[in-house]
């Protein structure tokens, strides 16, 4: 009996360890997610797994060509320097006005945009981009900034095509 226990106990422990490794390594729960460079857990928590996983889909050439007018409008919003939110909202609507440089003493801005991915489905589309931006006074004083080279802000836009033009209908960006 003692001899068989010396074999059974180590064998049972070994089987338990193998089973644990298998479960941890090969059985993925809904909370598991393969992060890529530059991705963070808080982003997944904010956007949700379904939306955030869109970032792993490569944009097709056709969708990219279709969405370039919307991407150019985003770039134009970043380049817009104004004194009030109302000016920017009148120019860009309820979802893109927030990217205009709205500061009473703003003189110029710099920004860097990067198209991450997008998808067109008929008259509806999703566009993901990242950015960093800086707003300066006439004297060169930094008034405000968003994002950094190591951690640019990520944005998910939803848009509808109306009268041949993409109109943003929703925006998600971590506050």
Q: Give how many domains the chain has, as a whole number.
A: 1
63 CB-side CA count, 13 A: 19
Is residue 105, in this structure, part of any structural domain at all? yes
| Predicted local confidence at residue 16, as pLDDT | 63
* pLDDT tens figures, 101-121: 878 899 999 999 999 999 999
Length in residues, the chain:
175
* pLDDT tens figures, 90-106: 999 999 999 998 788 99
* pLDDT tens figures, 53-101: 999 999 999 999 999 999 999 999 999 999 888 999 999 999 999 999 8
* pLDDT tens figures, 138-157: 999 999 999 999 889 999 99
Q: Which segments of 50-141 are extended strands (E)? A: 81-82, 101-102, 106-121, 124-137
Is residue 116, in this structure, part of any structural domain at all? yes
In whole angstroms, what is the distance from residue 42 CA to residue 32 CA? 13
Domain range for 76 is 41-173
Is residue 72, in this structure, part of any structural domain at all? yes
Is residue 76, in this structure, part of any structural domain at all? yes
| Predicted local confidence at residue 36, as pLDDT | 75
| Predicted local confidence at residue 24, as pLDDT | 45
Question: Sign of torsion, CA 134 138 139 143?
Answer: negative
Across residues 45-50, what is the average pLDDT? 93
102 phi/psi in degrees, rounded to 5: -105, 100
Say which CATH number the domain at 158 has.
Answer: 3.10.450
Is residue 20, in this structure, part of any structural domain at all? no
Task: Please answer whether residues 113 and 128 qualify as being in contact, where contact means their C-beta atoms are separated by less than 8 angstroms.
Answer: no
Average pLDDT value for the chain = 87
Is residue 11, in this structure, part of any structural domain at all? no
Report pTM: 0.78
In whole angstroms, what is the distance from residue 139 CA to residue 106 CA? 10
Is residue 32, in this structure, part of any structural domain at all? no
Q: How far is CA 27 from the centre of its chain?
A: 27
């Amino acid at each position: 009996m003692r001899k068989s226990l010396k074999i059974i106990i180590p064998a049972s422990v070994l089987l338990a360890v193998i089973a644990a490794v298998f479960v941890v390594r090969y059985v993925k729960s809904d909370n598991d997610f393969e992060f890529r460079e530059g991705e963070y857990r808080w982003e997944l928590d904010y956007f949700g797994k379904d939306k955030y996983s869109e970032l792993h889909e490569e944009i097709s050439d056709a969708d990219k060509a279709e969405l370039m007018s919307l991407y150019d409008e985003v770039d134009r919003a970043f380049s817009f320097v104004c004194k009030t939110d109302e000016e920017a909202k009148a120019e860009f609507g309820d979802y893109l006005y927030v990217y205009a440089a709205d500061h009473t003493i703003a003189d110029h801005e710099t920004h860097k945009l990067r198209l991450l991915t997008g998808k067109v489905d008929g008259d509806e589309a999703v566009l993901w981009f990242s950015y960093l931006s800086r707003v300066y006074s006439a004297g060169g004083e930094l008034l405000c900034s968003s994002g950094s080279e190591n951690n640019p802000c990520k944005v998910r836009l939803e848009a509808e095509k109306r009268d041949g033009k993409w109109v943003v209908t929703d925006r998600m960006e971590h506050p």
